[in-house]
Chains A and B, each alone.
Chain A
Amino acid sequence: MAANDPIHQFQIEKLVDFGVVNLPLFGRTELAFTNSHLAMTLAFAGVVIFMSLFTMSMQIVPGRLQAVGETLFGMIDNLASSIIGHEGRKFFPFVFTMFMFILAMNVLGLMLTFTVTSQLAITAVLGLMTIGLVIAIGFLRHGLGFFKLFVPSGVPIVLLPVIVLIEFVSFLLRPVTLALRLFGNMLGGHVALKVFAGFVVALGAMAANGGLGYFGIPGAALSLSMVVALTALECLVAFLQAFVFAVLTCIYLNDVVNLGHGH
């Protein structure tokens, strides 16, 4: 039964065990090379190999591979400069790295390996990195003026305490929603896929028993076509979530880069 459980696919397994070590800050920790590690390494290698392949033999008229790379590159470049403005180029490397890494993990998780982005720990780190960069840039650029982010201009003085509180809480919720959106979308999609795939197997087993079980065959066929349709939808979601992560990163960066300029 455990193998048919839709949550079972998110189990982290040790591939190479390094045993238990004592780390100075964390105490006793288990070290291992897990399936999550392997998937992330594959995603990283995939991005690096793809990007080097398409920049290796650059031509003025791009071939197929170069066209894909240029489209992705140009899309994020457009995004950064249209949202952040003329300083967008400075933040392009960060946004593009995040986008490509998440995209690679999502797509690989759908096709081939363990889905890394369905682990809350991973998406939480990605969200914290983004918001950490936003806060760091805010303080570096504006010093204590960073707190003006929570005080919108043109608000009546009576409403100010409430507005500041709401703005502050919504700022604190940004990394949480950033992490939960990616996590929830990947988790939900993969659970739904697994549930429909489970129907195919269960109804097929019913049909194998003969008799009334043959009525299971149309149901199994319907479930199978649902799996195909859901896989197509998940391909879109995998891309869309990476894109949304990049867009929101740009919007949050824009808040601190162009602080107080009004937009």
Chain B
Amino acid sequence: MEIDAAKQIGAGLATLGMIGAGIGVGNIFGSFLTGALRNPSAAASQIGNLFVGAALAEALGILSFVLGILLKYG
């Protein structure tokens, strides 16, 4: 029974890794807006880079989310 409880707590702790992904994605979009408001004419050409950066930052958070799911249901 204690192992089960530890698994649940561990799953919860593992998802804390998503905090980093949240900070990262927020940072990317915030920086994009800062840059885009300074030079709106160049913004459209950087949309692709924006989403690739967001996806790369998000992937690391997803890793911890998957770990949490694995701990809870695996």
| Interface residues in chain A, defined as those with a beta carbon under 8 Å from any beta carbon in chain B | 7, 79, 82, 177, 180-181, 183-185, 187-188, 240-241, 243-244, 247-248, 251
Closest 10 CB pairs of A and B: A184-B62, A244-B55, A181-B59, A177-B59, A184-B66, A247-B52, A184-B65, A181-B62, A180-B62, A188-B65
> How long is the Cα–Cα vector from A243 to B73 in the complex, in angstroms?
30
Note all chain A residues with C-beta closer than 8 A to B73.
Answer: 7
Whether A185 and B62, one on each chain, are in contact in the complex, defined by CB atoms closer than 8 angstroms, is yes
**Which chain B residue has the least Cβ–Cβ distance from A251?**
B52
- B69 contacts A by Cβ under 8 Å: yes
Whether B51 and A243, one on each chain, are in contact in the complex, defined by CB atoms closer than 8 angstroms, is yes
Contact flags (1/0) for B38-66 with A, using CB distance below 8 Å?
00000000001001100100110011011
Note all chain B residues with C-beta closer than 8 A to A187.
Answer: 66, 69
> How long is the Cα–Cα vector from A202 to B42 in the complex, in angstroms?
49
Give B15 Cβ to nearest chain A Cβ, in Å. Answer: 10
Q: List 12 A-B contacts (CB under 8 A).
A: A180-B59, A180-B63, A180-B66, A183-B62, A183-B66, A184-B59, A184-B63, A184-B65, A185-B58, A187-B66, A187-B69, A240-B51
Known: A82-B48, A187-B69, A244-B51. 5 other contacts (CB 8 A): A180-B62, A184-B63, A244-B52, A244-B55, A247-B48
Once A7-B73, A180-B63, A183-B66 are accepted as A-B contacts, the answer to whether A247 and B51 lie under 8 Å apart by CB is: yes
> How long is the Cα–Cα vector from A247 to B53 in the complex, in angstroms?
11
Category for how many chain B residues contact A? 10 to 19
Note all chain A residues with C-beta closer than 8 A to B62.
Answer: 180-181, 183-185, 188
**Which chain B residue has the least Cβ–Cβ distance from A5?**
B73
Note all chain A residues with C-beta closer than 8 A to B65.
Answer: 184, 188
Most buried by B among A79, A183, A184: A184
Whether A181 and B55, one on each chain, are in contact in the complex, defined by CB atoms closer than 8 angstroms, is yes
Most buried by B among A187, A188, A241, A251: A188
Whether B55 and A248, one on each chain, are in contact in the complex, defined by CB atoms closer than 8 angstroms, is yes
Once A180-B59, A181-B55, A248-B55 are accepted as A-B contacts, the answer to whether A79 and B48 lie under 8 Å apart by CB is: yes
Once A184-B66, A187-B69 are accepted as A-B contacts, the answer to whether A248 and B58 lie under 8 Å apart by CB is: no
**Which chain A residue has the least Cβ–Cβ distance from B66?**
A184
Note all chain A residues with C-beta closer than 8 A to B59.
Answer: 177, 180-181, 184
Partner of B52, one of A82, A185, A248: A248
Note all chain A residues with C-beta closer than 8 A to B48.
Answer: 79, 82, 247
**Which chain B residue has the least Cβ–Cβ distance from A182?**
B62
**Which chain B residue has the least Cβ–Cβ distance from A75?**
B48
**Which chain A residue has the least Cβ–Cβ distance from B15?**
A188
Note all chain A residues with C-beta closer than 8 A to B66.
Answer: 180, 183-184, 187
Note all chain A residues with C-beta closer than 8 A to B52.
Answer: 244, 247-248, 251
Give B68 Cβ to nearest chain A Cβ, in Å. Answer: 10
Give B28 Cβ to nearest chain A Cβ, in Å. Answer: 13
